Amino acid sequence: MSIWDWSYVWEALPYLYRGAIVTVQATLLSFAIALVLGLVFALIRQSPNRYVSTAMAEIVEFIRSTPLLLQVFFVYFVGPQFGIVIPAWICGIGALGIHNAAYCSEVYRAGILAVEEGQWEACTALNLSRRRIWSAII
């Protein structure tokens, strides 16, 4: 006698397929948010203003040091107590995006800091625009 029931598998397969589609959509949308927001976080963290860069560093470290599930629960269940009601889908995508943006910002920042000082000096010596420096050189 077999414990495995193939009829139940075929019955559940459409639900699993829809769940997989939702998972892929959530992954792609949150990844797009993380790429853009992570770059913004990294650039703010590179700010010459010490207070701004320190505040951004603290925010990124706070996001990185708290569990993602706790962040999602906090936004979804505590937010309405302060009048912030966000649909579940948006809450999940946003929390995933912001959480991953904190990690992406550290990757971006490490890449920016890895550029040798001579590269920056060469850009200044060539009188390149900031846009050209960041898009073509760095």
Tens-binned pLDDT, residue by residue, of the chain (138 aa):
578 888 888 999 999 999 999 999 999 999 999 999 999 999 999 999 999 999 999 999 999 999 999 999 999 999 899 998 999 999 999 999 999 999 999 999 999 889 888 888 888 898 888 888 888 877
Residue 46 is given by DSSP the state T
Q: So where are the chain's domains? A: 53-138
CATH homologous superfamily of domain 53-138? MetI-like (1.10.3720.10)
Q: Count of CB atoms within 10 A of residue 123's CB?
A: 19
CA–CA distance, 110 with 33 (Å, rounded to integer) = 19
Q: Which pTM was predicted?
A: 0.81
Q: What DSSP element (H or E) covers 54? A: helix 50-65
Contacts 24+ apart (CB under 8 A), 19-27: 26/92, 26/93, 26/96
